[in-house]
Structure 1
């Protein structure tokens, strides 16, 4: 079991509001999307703008989080002496979770003393958000990274 402190990560598919997120100790990685071939991130456009463009015929598509985004985030934490627990978007809906595992393995080769735990939430949106809120609460209550990983695994359904 690791004595190192750890950071809690998830992704923008948890759909939590900024009001909720400001009280949480969590870092979100953004999935990107395209509107008429232009790559955008969550804060580039409001949902009403996005849906308005769709209604007006814009071509849209989503994209998973890139491996370099995961590697940069995970490496930054391990280099600073933290471990990482990443709660990911359902593997049934996106390849992002699998990409996080590839990035974890790559970063762990450089930082074998650290720990990165990636957990498939098996959900998205409100379900993922609620699980993340509870995980943040449990982390603040003092659960170790291994204890929290087990709690998430036991309660994600």
Structure 2
């Protein structure tokens, strides 16, 4: 039976990748300069990060059940089933909204199947799971087989990242004002990851930007599944030079062949700030 993969835009794909992979995505919104945005071009993201650097603020909103229904209903009406791969429930209500929408649509379309997976992932970490899911679908996996594959493999999706401006972690309640101030003065850069529950966890600290980026590479060296990381994803908060350095390091030290580099999207970037740099790969565990 034919089915479609549906995700949401917190997976931070470049616009062209949705078409390339045959994906449909539910938009999450960002309010910036009193305007609501749901689609983000590269030039607009660059403008957003410039604004954040100058002190502008942006707020975000999760997808609601109606957002999911408006995307999923036409697929069901066309006679196809749906696998939803949603933004981590540990960071957003987007997943819960997808579950609500799926329940309501299941009553309206009892002959159709709708499965919702909490990816426990975000940004291009979610994107990497979606990417691999699309590749598995191309191999001929059934809807149930792909659902089970995603549920099993999402815990191998490693998210390791660092931020350049500690004040964004302070605003998000992840560190105290005193810690942010002291860390900024001493050039301390946190190294964080996403745990199995889909929460952001601070793991260690590095002195200086280069050391924090090198720490991401070391984590990949420690955790990467052998032979399973020909392709990795890197996202950045308007710091391409740092992203290129990270790319060169993982190619040299981890045997990576292909790297997708793109902006940290507006939803995640509004909270993590300019200078965020993240590495996503398949690991033995998170």
TM-score normalised by the chain length of structure 2: 0.51
Q: Does 1:10 align with 2:10?
A: no
Q: Deviations over 1:83-142 (max 9, x none)?
A: 100100000010000000001011111101111110000011121111111100011111
Matched residue, 1:71: 69
Report 1:6-155 matches (<5 A): 6-43=3-40, 46-155=44-153
CA distance in 1, matches of 2:50, 2:63: 25
| Preserved contact between residue 9 and residue 28 of structure 1 (Cα < 8 Å) | yes
From the superposition, tell whether residues 37 and 18 of structure 1 become closer, same or farther in structure 2 (CA, over 3 Å): closer
| Preserved contact between residue 37 and residue 59 of structure 1 (Cα < 8 Å) | no
| Preserved contact between residue 62 and residue 94 of structure 2 (Cα < 8 Å) | yes
Pick the structure with greater CA Rg.
Answer: 2
Q: Deviations over 1:36-80 (max 9, x none)?
A: 332111237721111122233323111001221111111111111
| Preserved contact between residue 91 and residue 120 of structure 1 (Cα < 8 Å) | yes
From the superposition, tell whether residues 97 and 19 of structure 1 become closer, same or farther in structure 2 (CA, over 3 Å): same
| Preserved contact between residue 28 and residue 62 of structure 2 (Cα < 8 Å) | yes
Instruction: Give the alignment's Cα RMSD to 1 decimal.
Output: 1.5
Unaligned 5+ segments in structure 1 are none
CA distance in 2, matches of 1:51, 1:70: 28
TM-score normalised by the chain length of structure 1: 0.91
Q: Greater share of strand residues, 1 or 2?
A: 2
Unaligned 5+ segments in structure 2 are 156-286
Matched residue, 2:154: 156
Per chain length, whose mean CA-contact separation is higher, i.e. which structure has more relative contact order (CA < 8 Å, sep 6+)? 1
Off by >3 Å, runs of 4+ in structure 1: 18-22
Deviation at 1:19, TM superposition (A): 4.6
CA distance in 2, matches of 1:18, 1:73: 17
